[in-house]
Amino acid sequence: MNKLDLSKIPYIERDISWLEFNYRVLQEARDPTNPLMERLKFIAIFSSNRDEFYRVRVAHHRNIIRLGKKEQKALDFDSNQIMKDILRIVNKQQIELNHTFLNEIIPDLKKLWH
């Protein structure tokens, strides 16, 4: 039996993977085939998930960064790089969220009230 070479399997850092999962929630909010109120709920879920992500996971990486380089070397990941990746992804997602809410959800809600 051949042994599986794990070095050939791409590794996706868990926090980046989690952001990608939450992005799928945002995609549901962007889907115009979903009912308007469901889209609004998906925005609320996406935002709540991201808030918790910052309280727990981003705080974790910030604490590791505060430890210093010597302690960080003992870890099997680079919190500085992960934080850069997180900020890049979150900023992109925030732009998409803002666009969806301001240019799609709000106008559709206004149509309901008029």
Percent of the chain with pLDDT over 90: 65
- Alpha-helical (H) ranges within the chain are 14-30, 36-53, 59-67, 69-73, 79-100, 106-113
Q: Are 104 and 30 in contact (CB under 8 A)?
A: yes
Q: Which of 53, 61, 1 is nearest to 26 (CA)?
A: 53
**Mean pLDDT across the chain:** 88
Query: What confidence tens digit (pLDDT) does each residue in 27-62 have?
Result: 999 999 999 999 999 999 999 999 999 999 999 888
Q: Which of 33, 12, 34, 29 is nearest to 98 (CA)?
A: 29
* pLDDT at residue 9 greater than cutoff 60: no
Reported pTM: 0.82
